[in-house]
A and B are shown apart, each in its own frame.
Chain A
Amino acid sequence: MYVELHARSAFSFLEGASLPELLMARCAQLDMPAMALLDRNGLYGAPRFHIAAQRAGTRAHIGAEIAVRDAGERMRPPQWLPHQVPIEPVRLSILAETQLGYQNLCRLITRYKLREAHKAEGAASLSDVAEFAAGLVCLTGGDEGPLAAALARGGYDAALREIGRLVHIFGPRNVYVELQRHFEREQEHCNQAAVRIARTLHLPLLATNGVSYATPYEREVLDVLTTIRHHCTLETAGRLLTSNAEHYLRSAREMQQLFRDLPEAIENTGELSARLIFEMSDLGYRFPDYPVPQGDTMQTFLEKRTEEGICNRYQPKCDETLFARAQKQAQRELSLIAKLGLAGYFLIVWDIVQFCGREGILVQGRGSAANSVVCYALGITAIDPVGMDLLFERFLSEERGEWPDIDLDLPSGNQRERAIQYVYQRYGELGAAMTANVITYRGRSAARETGKALGFDADTLNRLTKLVSAWEWKDKDDSLGRNFHDAGFDIQHHRIAKYVELCQRMQDLPRHLGQHSGGMVICGGQLNAVVPIEPASMPGRTVIQWDKEDCADMKIIKVDLLGLGMMAVLKDCLTLVPEHYNQPLDLAQLPPNDPPTYRALQQADTVGMFQVESRAQMAALPRNVPTCFYDIVVQVAIIRPGPIVGNMMNPYMKRRRGREKVTYYHPLLEPVLKRTLGIPLFQEQLIRMAMIIANFTGGEAEELRRAVGMRRSMARMRDLDGKLRRGMTANGIAPAVQNEIIQSISSFALYGFPESHAASFALIAYASAYLKCNYLAAFTAALLNNQPMGFYSPATIVKDAQRHGLRVKPVDVQHSDWPCTLEPEPSNAHRFTLRLGLCYAHGMRRDTALPLLAARAQRAFMSIQDLVLRVPELRKSDLALLAKIGALNSLGEVEHRRDALWQVEYAGRPAGPLLEELPEEESAASPLRQMSIEERLVADFSGTGVTVGRHPMAFHRAQMRQMGILASCDLAGLPHGRNVRIAGCVIARQRPGTAKGFVFLSIEDETGIANAIITPAVYEQFKQVVVYEKFLMIEGELQNQENVISVKAREIRSLQISQAEVRSHDFH
């Protein structure tokens, strides 16, 4: 028997070429009973390795290669050889024998990782290793290890001393002298010395293959990764590359053949494997207890808080029945929470929400937590689950045996950071950390890095990576090879063919570790004994070595503190509205049926509104005609890939408008699907359907839901499919109906929405719509101050606001603040204009703007010279920028932008201290002519990204009319099927994965936004124009049905309207 006990995966980041799953699959293929994973300086791949082992029925031993800084430098080629191997510390190969050993390994890695001020590899000291040596087994390693390094450094005696030191640290029983045979002469020299040392010190020998990839073929990928690591090319890498392809996972037979002279080295692998009793099934993770007052338990404390919350939430509703139902549901939930021991979890999330409340930070729970009345009572969520009849089992069930998932939405930016820092402060540096986000090689990054390795120049790579298709939709011909061909590469050339092949093989390999956007892991006891923690790039943050799916697999609870741009907008509105409109604003008490709000939603007048602003939403809103809050819930959920792929959207719309009869797949399903007119739209419905028609238990149904919702679980979904069919057959459901039901369930794969989540989002959507319709100036200012977010660029948001009657003023050094602000209209103090902030001057730094604002607060600027003298922080480029965008036009003696440019060029020149106080000698008017309209547009878009003047199309309207081109506002009055021409600047391009290759364009003119649909054939014909041109003329058939208007393109031409850098939001 042979067990491979030294393997690196791709999670050794650029030092291994195979994913842990692939290594384990190969291990199972070779009938190896177990295998060990020792990644460099971490346990990054351990959970995946462990889960893969569980599925394959093998054992996964866990360990790591630990860099030790005072154990010498790792072996390098002799000095007289030309080489470029960088100096690196020796790495100790360590295996966890027991749970204590695993905990020590985690603590050891955390210790030296956190010692680094910034994100870095780091290295342990021998004293660290000695402190955490209990429960660990040490191998002497391959060429990265201490034995090879000591031999190279000081010969046999040094090596003997080094191994003696390891024996002193780990004990004689826990040090194995490792032998590797990669058919290299120098290695055999090392092996002979190793055998002598083992005999001298009476240590066991251990054969390993120092695996870096699963199969020899992957050596090529490892070589590419090596060049990426060392910033060189394959041609120049020299001896940095491996000398052969022997570092693969060998079978027992091959290893026995290789070590036939030392059979005990093979036998010892089995013995050591048997000794390694630790498995990752139990990590000893525990959620922290919440401190409660004396006399209370966490459960009683939670019950009290819930009771208070129920009263606060439901008594104002003055509905006794509802109140009673809420109390009953709360009792049911609390008893389940008590049974599952989850009171502490709820209290800790409640504690974060309380902190946000105290600090005035908006917070709202999203996801399935909104199904719980306890969460509603505790203020974690804002949706009444009892009133909306939401399914609690989607959130929590006894059978599932897992922790519930509560996600909190916070305003993005500083406020979210404060909440995160509160958690760190509350649970300690070693008690909480962010979850990781593994950044992998994707199309563009793979093409770029592989191209560099193959020695392609930067220009070529830029051209290629720009052209690598990034649409969501991929047609059958949209291969990497075709992208290369489109980029001008000859894919028949062997070097290019190899490039394409390598790019494909690089896909999905880990590149580096980032941090998750908001997932925080909290631990009772010490988190660093469960998983290693390391510093994140962001100051004040730490991150664990696993991503969120690994955490779920390892049953580690995370609380998501997610940043939501719209929450920041709402928060800003909470300040702006009372300050300027002198009206109180309480998001919890918004008028529920505000007519202007619903009118705007029905007319798809939704630019800037949360979740309902996209082109697809706009196309659906006039058909859905929302009239109540639940309609918005449905609206948020229905424009998702799941319902669209499942062909649920159209039937729902028809049924809603009474054009199709409401039917059900089976009479049994009527109670479940009645609310959505017989069409399943929500995950909760999926769960209930499985329970009713296939006799699934709640837990099984939830497992089904998870299987269709997770990328990694497609295989599990197939298993459950059989079970589902058997259950339906038992209930006498016909095979054809079974197929329909399974199709509707499968459509949820990856993209299904829980009803509670949709309801939480719908609340924010309604709030954003209400604010836009009632406080347009404040809402627009907040929206512009929190960019980038949403579907549209600031330019489109400004134009939309202007069409709604808001006056927008340009950036002005005499009036603008750093953010966009409101100014009362001189004629009407209750109407406001929006002043663009200095933050919209591209290239202007806040550090420069603040002294400017401080100087202006003392007194207004008299002239450009005055500005330059009083704000020395302004560089010449800043002044030129401000002049170019017209921000200096209100200064004395400035007549127009070019006048300002002429003056700043003089005033901004470097003058010595002796001359800087001298008055301006020149007073003659600028010789430069005023900017033309086109020049002003170009300056506006390049300098601020927006224009507050007329839309570029407005200047060409007469010409457009001559060409038979209609304005977008004209389309509503024309009949369906008529041939029309429209034109405008492209503001969004989409090729959704669900749309079978169709491309959707949103084009804007001075009257509004028009939508165009491009079939795949037309797209192929006009691809270059569609993708690259800024202004387009589109001719085609008008589709005007149910107030949804679009043009089905037949011909597309580019228009020379303006050179302005208008930007489109392209969905890649």
Chain B
Amino acid sequence: MPAPLYLCVHVRDFAAQALKQSHELGSRAIAILNGDPPLERIFAMNADARQHGLETGMSRVQAESFPILLLRRDRAREDAAFAELLRCAEQFSPRIEAIASPLEDLCGATLVLDISGSERMLGSAQEIATSVRRAVRAIGYESSVAASHNAGAALLAARGLPGIVAVVSGREAATLAPLPLAVLDLDVAQAETFAVWGIHTLGELAALPTKALAARLGQSGLRMQAQARGEHRHLLVPGEEAPDAPISESLELEHPVELLEPLLFLLSQMLEQILQQAAERAMAIASMETCLTLERNTLDVNAQGPAHCEHCRVVRPALPEHDRLTLLKLIQLDLELHPPEAAVIALRLTAHPARLPVAQQGLFAAQAPEAGHLEILLARLRKLVGEGRVGAPELLDTHAPEPFRVVNFEIAQSASVRKTSAPPQHAPAMRMVRPPRAIAVELRGDAPAAMHYEGHRLILQAGSGPWRTSGAWWTHPAWCREEWDVVLKEEPQRCLRLAHDPGASCWYVIGIYD
């Protein structure tokens, strides 16, 4: 059996390289900001920027003093770039392990390829490494590539040595010897111990007596020394798609489509494919993203930017769903509620799978509607009354007006429902007027005396207020409001709640007491 052969590709500053490539920035020094304004910090940079003295962790203001281009982090772009890198590597081997992916907030991307037995087809290790590096460069990334019969040695060599390195069998230790210990994954305590011992390179670590090292640092010491000597048997774990990895289907149309019906026909077919793949994994669909690539309005001469734009919608059933018709109906209702603004020239469906819901129905429990039907009903209601108006109200911890939000219904996971004491029964009920009705108010002093409501002038017999609230003064803009409870003079007497926005000098009816 021939000796295994591994190849490691290390792309340094991957996030910066990915973003730079997508913006076609040539050889400019760039740095990437992460975080929300005003607390953005430098998260990654390319070598040119590093040469200017830039450091990770600097704020935007500090970074702006350097002659570099600042870009915002784009995780989607990083994901796509990593997928592209993987595809590129897959040309050379189907067995690939991603050691550090950008999804883990690391700036470098490292792939270990098992190329055992590929020599006859692809050439010597050196030649394969050259080809891989060339292929990676072709998609826009500078990398270092190392080949070795030991996967661990290839990994460390690629991390620590630039360009292409073919580690000669039996010379692993010598090749790795000058590399700094930083190429190993040391924790803080290990790094401190080696520093105080004066061990700075892999060669120095490799030279320590093995038994004595084991007596001091235990198995981790042995592992690190074996790595440093190029003897550590790294067990390659080729990446396999996780069962819950997204499933995607896309389709480019020959002609722009403006109507929903033909689109649904196509979507139905794509959905079929996706559900089949999900079924193979024994999964259902937790959420479905529909991305429609739209034709750009060519009549708009002022329009700038890319030739196409995307219209993306996500439907998320309360329980994972695997019925095509139900999902299609949900997509249809959502697109009817949020139609695209131009003709569609391409479609992409991305599904996020989840386990099929398993629920034990009680023998005597009341028959509940099927989850899918209920979902469609809710979607229909949503279409009817508007987004964010169907679901369960959730109280917010704030003094602000309307201190609640509407959230989707949740399926109770257990029978124990949180008990909360109800509001006092004797409290008067009030219907909130949503949206508030703007009215004109006549004042006597500071208090309202009459109001113009539904085309009538109504005299106010009594009123109490103002009830003042204000808050969020640290945001822009803050809010403040005055409320009055008034009784109309007309018969039958009605009691209303009025609100006054002192900032805008507007009056509203916001509630009617029963």
Contacts and interface: CB of A to CB of B under 8 A. Distances in A.
Contact of B423 (A78, A185, A241): A78
A906 B471 contact: no
Contacts of A244: 399, 468-470, 480
Contact of A239 (B37, B57, B212, B399): B399
Contact of A243 (B209, B422, B464, B471): B471
Interface string A924-936: 1001110100010
Given A78-B421, A489-B38, A494 B471 contact: no
Contacts of A498: 474
Interface stretch (B58-66, B82-90, B96-104): B58-66
A493 interface: yes
Nearest to B38: A493
A901 B197 contact: yes
Nearest to A939: B196
Given A238-B397, A496-B38, A488 B60 contact: yes
Interface string B391-421: 0000111110000000000000000000011
A494 B475 CA distance: 8
A909 B212 CA distance: 12
B354 to A, nearest CB: 29
Contact of B473 (A220, A463, A939): A220
Interface in A883-915: 884, 898, 901-902, 905-906, 909
Contacts of B212: 902, 906, 922, 924, 927
B94 to A, nearest CB: 42
Contacts of B61: 485, 488-490
Nearest to B423: A80
Contacts of A589: none
Contacts of A489: 38, 59, 61
Interface stretch (A404-412, A453-461, A848-856, A980-988): A453-461
B468 A909 contact: no
A568 interface: no
Contacts of B468: 182-184, 243-244, 246
Contacts of B37: 490, 493
Contact of B216 (A241, A496, A905): A905
A939 B199 CA distance: 15
A435 to B, nearest CB: 37
A906 B464 CA distance: 81
A931 B198 CA distance: 7
A195 to B, nearest CB: 15
A1018 to B, nearest CB: 21
A588 B464 CA distance: 82
Chain B CB count within 10 A is highest, among A909, A922, A927, A935, for A927
B208 interface: yes
A223 interface: yes
Contact of A880 (B196, B207, B420, B473): B196
A898 B199 CA distance: 11
A495 B471 CA distance: 15
A349 to B, nearest CB: 53
Given A80-B420, A80-B422, A922-B212, A905 B193 contact: yes
B39 interface: yes
Interface string B421-450: 111000000000000000000000000000
B397 A906 contact: no
B190 to A, nearest CB: 12
Contacts of A184: 467-468
Contacts of B466: 183
Nearest to A932: B198
B496 to A, nearest CB: 15
Contact of A928 (B62, B197, B471, B475): B197
Contacts of B23: none
B215 A909 contact: yes
B120 interface: no
Nearest to A83: B397
Contacts of B469: 243-244
B255 interface: no
Contacts of A83: 397
Contacts of A901: 196-197
Given A80-B422, A489-B59, A490-B61, A243 B197 contact: no
A593 to B, nearest CB: 53
Contacts of A495: 38, 474-476
A238 B420 CA distance: 19
A245 B399 contact: no
Contacts of A79: 420-421
Nearest to A884: B196
Contact of B396 (A82, A487, A490, A905): A82
Interface in A205-263: 219-220, 223, 234, 238-239, 241, 243-246
Interface in B474-500: 474-476, 480, 482
Interface string B34-71: 00011100000000000000000111111000000000
B194 to A, nearest CB: 10
Interface string A598-628: 0000000000000000000000000000000
A182 B399 CA distance: 14
A734 interface: no
B399 A935 contact: no
B417 to A, nearest CB: 14
Contacts of B464: 188
Contacts of B39: 456-457, 460
Contacts of A84: 397
A625 to B, nearest CB: 50
Interface string A635-656: 0000000000000000000000
A81 interface: yes
A459 B39 CA distance: 10
A1067 B208 CA distance: 47
A158 to B, nearest CB: 15
Contacts of B58: 488
Nearest to A82: B397
B38 A490 contact: yes
A460 B476 CA distance: 22
B421 A80 contact: yes
B59 A488 contact: yes
A351 to B, nearest CB: 55
Contact of A185 (B398, B420, B422, B467): B467
A906 B215 contact: yes
B474 A454 contact: yes
Interface in A69-91: 78-84
B225 to A, nearest CB: 12
Interface in A504-526: none
Nearest to B398: A238
A488 B59 CA distance: 5
Contact of B197 (A487, A488, A902): A902
Contacts of B421: 78-80
A945 to B, nearest CB: 17
A493 B61 CA distance: 11
A89 to B, nearest CB: 23
Interface of B: 37-39, 57-62, 193, 196-199, 207-209, 212, 215-217, 395-399, 420-423, 464-471, 473-476, 480, 482
Interface of A: 78-84, 182-185, 188, 219-220, 223, 234, 238-239, 241, 243-246, 454, 456-457, 459-460, 463, 485, 487-490, 493-496, 498, 880, 884, 898, 901-902, 905-906, 909, 922, 924, 927-929, 931, 935, 939
Given A234-B474, A238-B396, A244-B480, 17 more contacts: A79-B421, A80-B423, A183-B468, A238-B397, A238-B398, A456-B39, A463-B59, A485-B61, A490-B37, A898-B198, A901-B197, A905-B216, A906-B212, A906-B216, A909-B215, A928-B198, A928-B199
Q: Top 7 A-B pairs ranked by shortest CB distance?
A: A488-B59, A238-B397, A183-B468, A243-B399, A488-B62, A905-B216, A493-B38
12 contacts: A78-B423, A184-B468, A188-B464, A238-B396, A239-B398, A244-B468, A245-B470, A459-B57, A489-B38, A489-B61, A494-B476, A928-B199
